[in-house]
A and B are shown apart, each in its own frame.
Chain A
Amino acid sequence: MYQYDAIDQQLVEERVAQFRDQTRRYLNKELKEEEFLPLRLQNGLYVQRYAPMLRIAIPYGMVSSTQLRLLADITRRYDRGYGHFSTRQNLQLNWPKLEDVPDILAELATVQMHAVQTSGNCIRNTTTDQYAGVISDEVADPRPYCELIRQWSTFHPEFAFLPRKFKIAVCATDSADRAATQVHDIGLHIKKNDAGEIGFKVIVGGGLGRTPMVGETISEFIPRSDLLTYLDAIIRVYNQQGRRDNKYKARIKILVKALGIEEFRKRVDAEWEHLRGTESTVPMSEFDRLASFFTEPAYEALEDQPAELAAKIAESNGFARWYERNTFEHKKPGYRIVTLSLKKPGIAPGDATADQMEKAANLADQYSFGELRVSHEQNLVLADVRQDQLIELWEAAKENGFATPTLGLLTDMICCPGGDYCGLANAKSIPIAEQIQETFDNLDYLFDIGEVDLNISGCMNACGHHHVGNIGILGVDKKGEEFYQVSLGGASGHDASIGKILGPSFAQEQIGGVIQKIIGVYVSQRTEEERFIDTFRRIGIAPFKEAAYAKDN
């Protein structure tokens, strides 16, 4: 993975000193509350319902075992011994003390980490496929490009006070979009043109929140050398022309929608005319330099499907299930990608204890070259596991609560922290996740239901991506009581779509039963090959609506 040089290191250290001074001035009352707000947000620090929340950046989800161990240690010493992995591949601490944050940042800087731009109206952490670099069908490893974007966006002097937050995600394969790029402010798809040159299809104006939208293609192909000048052009247009009068209409999607993609493209092209070919054009030497950090580890020449693996799959139903769901095909024979699930029933989705983080770090050292990835679905990934070590790893994963074999299934939910922690939330989301996990506790049934994305958000801000869940659940406040609106038919992959609201919202205790009825319709109506989303797209919302609102008798 990327390693800081003296320049990168100096920058994070100067940032720590700057934030230490800002915090000191705030505590001294030299900085007003409203002035400190954007400054702390640009360092990932929110003031939440019960305590501050600090969001630590994990650039494009890559984390080393050394870094993860320090994160574990930090949660123990400065927090309550656990953290929350977010859908944008970051780690959130729920209980730090504001006055400790400069010290936390100083410790993070010792392992090349920071919390820069993890919040605020600026360019946020760039995210990508958690399988980057280890799958066979990607056009190119997206990580060098993510690092290029990370550096370009970090302390970008012109774009630190945009109309609203700005999120970029990168996808490098046609077979799947695991980074939900189409619901980002900018989605980048790595492509090769007919001449074999690498570039990007650029999608703009996607996003969730109050006005969910799937992005539109602004360019089919931008050569990679022009990527940064093109991004500068898009964001310069947005910075000047995006709405600032209403924060709910301030994302780039509203500007793109208002102008129409053609007019927006015209304005971006007019700006790009001036920027294209200037110094920010990326030379080949820089692509080579960045790529050199993401070379293949020392893979051994191994055979696919060793005999003991095949035997274990045949003999152990539990192992077979885990292998089927939680491991993924690797580009090298004899290796497999393993997801360590953070979706154990009874635990908030994405949460990991300090002990678990240390165990995961140890597993990474033992089985996967000392590196891990955080996934958009809020799990951890060991990207390079030898197939002949899978049985051992499975045993260790089970011991540490990482082996819930439900990846991609109904209970592998995305869930925001919700009203239990978040000051913005209208309703709790974690108890809803627990209720669904309890309702669907039969593994045979879960496997039979197959792939369903179920996403839960505690409010319209949609951190739990409910709009793009095949089943989405949104917490709403009705006269001080928590209710839940259900939507169906959302998707976040290459077939991205926004879910449709089923109807009036439900009381908290009804949700498990409602989801059961919805799944019941799918099971009775599906054809053999259909996933939930396929059946929904074929039969429409009406049968689901009818079942969900039918009187129980």
Chain B
Amino acid sequence: MPKIIKNGEIVENTYVWQQDVEAVATENAIVPMQKWLDNQDSIGKVAGIWIDAGEGVEPLAGVDISQFDVIGVNFPTFMDGRGFSYARLLRERLNYQGEIRALGAFMADQQGYLIRCGFNSFEFAEDVNLDIALTLNKPFSVAYQGDVADPRPIFLRRG
């Protein structure tokens, strides 16, 4: 089974990221958000949903997202930074407490920023060396802005 980095550790990946809308949803599947929204009465129990770049979190207004164990955010390329905002909105506006997983073409070197925006798990492409990626799984030890871990900017934290 492929591994992921979650909460700062390399662990087994117990979910399946279903990119194909036609795939049969299973209890361990992360299914496309729109598919879940369209079929929420019939789709049954899934691990969670994933949001593609461009979809935004607005479609989740009114949905009880606490039912999802995981919400994935896809990065079509590592230059596409929309997912950074999505994770923040999930945490700060929709108050989502579960796992937020980075999916797709994001880079190991982006993990510091991703963590600060609310991601806590990282499903890398197969060719990524997870031991090296793990060394990059931390933000700088200080930050100017508030973030999901601590909403206070530096001016509320300086001695």
Contact = CB atoms under 8 A, between A and B. Distances in A.
A157 B132 contact: no
Contacts of A278: 146, 151
Interface string B91-116: 00100000000000001011011101
A5 to B, nearest CB: 7
B109 A35 contact: yes
Contacts of A25: 132
B147 A157 contact: yes
A298 interface: no
Contact of A283 (B82, B147, B155): B155
Interface in A17-45: 18, 22, 25, 30-31, 35, 38-39
Interface in B131-146: 132, 139-146
Chain B interface secondary structure, helix, strand, loop or mixed? loop
A157 B151 contact: no
Contact of A280 (B93, B140, B153): B153
Nearest to A122: B81
A286 B117 CA distance: 24
Interface string B4-28: 0000000000000000000000000
Interface string A221-255: 00000001000000010011000100000000000
Contacts, number: 103
B156 A279 contact: yes
Interface residues of A, number: 41
Contacts of B37: none
A282 interface: yes
A224 to B, nearest CB: 13
A263 interface: no
A157 B113 contact: yes
A230 to B, nearest CB: 14
B158 A7 contact: yes
Contacts of A112: none
Nearest to A286: B155
A14 B156 contact: no
A156 B145 contact: yes
Contacts of B78: 35, 38, 161
Nearest to A156: B145
A10 B88 CA distance: 25
Contacts of A157: 84, 112-114, 116-117, 139, 143, 145, 147
Contact of B146 (A30, A161, A279): A279
B11 to A, nearest CB: 23
Given A39-B109, A279-B153, A286-B155, A14 B141 contact: yes
Interface stretch (A147-155, A189-197, A307-315): A147-155
Contact of A274 (B93, B109, B151, B158): B93
Contacts of A117: none
Nearest to B88: A158
B60 interface: no
A10 B84 contact: no
Nearest to A120: B79
A364 to B, nearest CB: 29
A10 B139 CA distance: 13
B133 to A, nearest CB: 11
Contacts of A7: 142, 154, 158
Interface in A42-81: none
A121 B79 contact: yes
Contact of B80 (A35, A244, A286): A244
Given A7-B142, A38-B78, A244-B80, A158 B117 contact: yes
A152 B82 CA distance: 19
Nearest to B153: A280
Given A152-B145, A157-B113, A162 B154 contact: no
Nearest to A236: B85
A155 B140 contact: yes
A154 B109 CA distance: 17
Given A158-B117, A279-B153, A280-B146, 16 more contacts: A11-B142, A11-B143, A14-B140, A30-B129, A38-B79, A121-B79, A155-B140, A155-B145, A157-B143, A158-B88, A160-B84, A161-B80, A161-B110, A228-B153, A239-B82, A285-B155
12 contacts: A7-B154, A152-B153, A155-B140, A155-B145, A157-B113, A158-B88, A158-B113, A160-B84, A161-B110, A244-B80, A274-B93, A280-B151
Q: Closest 7 interchain pairs by CB?
A: A161-B81, A157-B116, A286-B155, A157-B113, A151-B144, A279-B151, A158-B84
